[in-house]
A and B are shown apart, each in its own frame.
Chain A
Amino acid sequence: EVVMTQSPATLSVSPGERATLSCRASQSVSSKLAWYQQKPGQAPRLLIYGASTRATGIPPRFSGSGSGTEFTLTISSLQSEDFALYYCHQYNDWPPLTFGGGTKVEIK
């Protein structure tokens, strides 16, 4: 099973600042890595797939990078609607498909 580790668990950022979230895989997942955003009481929403491709309708302030075992989600200038939980997800080696534990981006 591929274990996904996200850091930090909580990220405190001021609106307008840059946020950098990390995700590490216990073994290579190539570029089969996705990022999701989840707000309280809502289902997750796909942000990034293939490690770096934005999903339909996702604004360009969201960007993904990395391959193999190290991945990053960057939000270039945080907007109020971006404060949420973020999960990484590997879909290269399954079953099982696995998720990271999440990073909460909160207002500083």
Chain B
Amino acid sequence: QVQLVESGGGVVQPGGSLRLSCAASGFTFSGYGMHWVRQAPGKGLEWVTLIWYDGSKKYYADSVKGRFTISRDNSKNTLSLQMNSLRVEDTAVYYCVRWNGDTAYDGWGQGTLVTVSS
């Protein structure tokens, strides 16, 4: 079955950087677009970024554009999110999510918590 395991979360100061990773298994990783979705404490879900199945296209929410970079390594079944210039408002649980254009988000990781605080 679809398994997505995020890592790399932690506490970082405003202006700092963090790199999240997501290890995928149980499906053909190179055949799916992948997204990051976040959820601030006690808040709803917010789409962050997506990458095409082959890495050829990437899209970002306005709130993270120019600061976050999504990437993937299909040879290692790994999705990454490089987060720079972090802000307090980036504090959230970040979920790695499998995307299917017909069935939406049909696989979620357990999430990794990013806390931006001085």
Contacts and interface: CB of A to CB of B under 8 A. Distances in A.
Contacts of B59: 94-96
Q: Chain B interface secondary structure, helix, strand, loop or mixed?
A: strand
B60 interface: yes
A50 to B, nearest CB: 7
Contacts of B95: 43-44
Contacts of B11: none
At the interface, is chain A mostly helix, strand, loop or mixed?
loop
Interface in B83-118: 95, 101-106, 108-111
Interface residues of B, number: 21
Contacts of A44: 45, 95, 105, 108
Interface in B58-74: 59-62
A94 B62 CA distance: 12
B44 A102 contact: yes
Nearest to A35: B104
A89 interface: yes
Contact of B47 (A49, A50, A55, A96): A96
Contacts of A98: 47
Interface in B21-37: 35
B44 A46 contact: no
B20 interface: no
Nearest to A100: B44
Interface centre among A55, A91, A98 (most CB of B within 10 A): A91
Interface of B: 35, 44-47, 50, 59-62, 95, 101-106, 108-111
